Amino acid sequence: MPNEYKGKLLKNGGITLNQPRKWTQKEIEWCIDLKEKGHSIKAIAESIDRDVLQVQIKMKRIAKKSNTYNEKHLEDKYFHNELFLSEIKPKSVLDLFAGAHSYYLDKVDEVYTNDIESKFNTYYNDKAEKLVCKLYYENCSFDLIDIDPFGSAFDCFDLSVKMAKKGLIITFGEMGHLRFKRTDYVNKFYGIETLEQFTIENLVNVVLKIGVRNRKKLTPIYIRNWQNISRVYFKIEKI
């Protein structure tokens, strides 16, 4: 973590072994970003030069606050999920990052769920990019594919476009990089070089081009923007 993200040192009152340091918003956002990318608490602590216990306590407090904060985000997400299902009327769905409970389980006839965490009782337990390769090789197709990762799932886009028949939903965790004014990741995959170019519209345009390469027209029906992420609902038609 850059040194400028670190807060000022505080006086040690004898309660802690290490020199206490004030938490900054930049430092908190750095931790959240690493956590969403799957890094361990130990790795995060090393990255920010803090004690593991300090980070563990802080992340628990953040998680408690985010549960309340995310209520409106989740309400809006599920509302537009429902609208999109009514729009394309899928009979089969591949939920690539389903988590503990897939939204689609009681709403679509055939639901194929996946999550890399084996503790979740999903149809598949595999890395999303590995699974789409396997499913494409087996000539699978789905009316709708939902890609809702922590972070980015760019490596899944092309094969998902190939297999999706009616719709594709992508949550763009890449937008979180705007917090740190970093364009290195989006430059590599989206050709974005400046912060002015770093917009959800430019990310969407890359997905539209992937569609054209696969002889499919992708039309964004809904674009929803929340803090650090955007979610786009694409309707698919063959060219």
Mean pLDDT rounded to a whole number for the chain = 89
CB-neighbour burial class of residue 6 (10 A; exposed 0-12, middle 13-18, buried 19+): middle
| Single-letter amino acid, residue 62 | I
| Confidence band for 86, pLDDT divided at 50, 70 and 90 | very high
DSSP 8-state assignment for residue 20: P
Residue 72 above 70 pLDDT? Answer: no
Q: Which residues contact 217 (CB under 8 A, 6 or more apart)?
A: 211, 236, 237, 238, 239
Tell me how far apart the alpha carbons of residues 85 and 107 are, in angstroms, rounded to a whole number: 9
Residue 82 CA, chain-centre distance (Å), reads 20
Question: Given a cut of 60, is residue 114 above it in pLDDT?
Answer: yes
145's enclosing H/E stretch is strand 142-147
Range name among 58-72, 81-95, 132-146 with the lowest pLDDT average = 58-72
Alpha helices in 25-124 (DSSP H): 25-36, 41-48, 52-69, 71-88
> Which alpha helices (DSSP H) does 109-197 contain, by range?
128-137, 157-163, 184-190
Domains of the chain: 3-69 (no CATH), 89-238 (3.40.50.150)
185-192, long-range: CB < 8 A, 24+ apart: 185/152, 189/152, 189/154
* Residue 118 exposed, middle or buried by CB count within 10 Å (0-12, 13-18, 19+): exposed
Supply the pTM of this predicted model. Answer: 0.74
Six-digit token pair at 139?
Answer: 């000539």
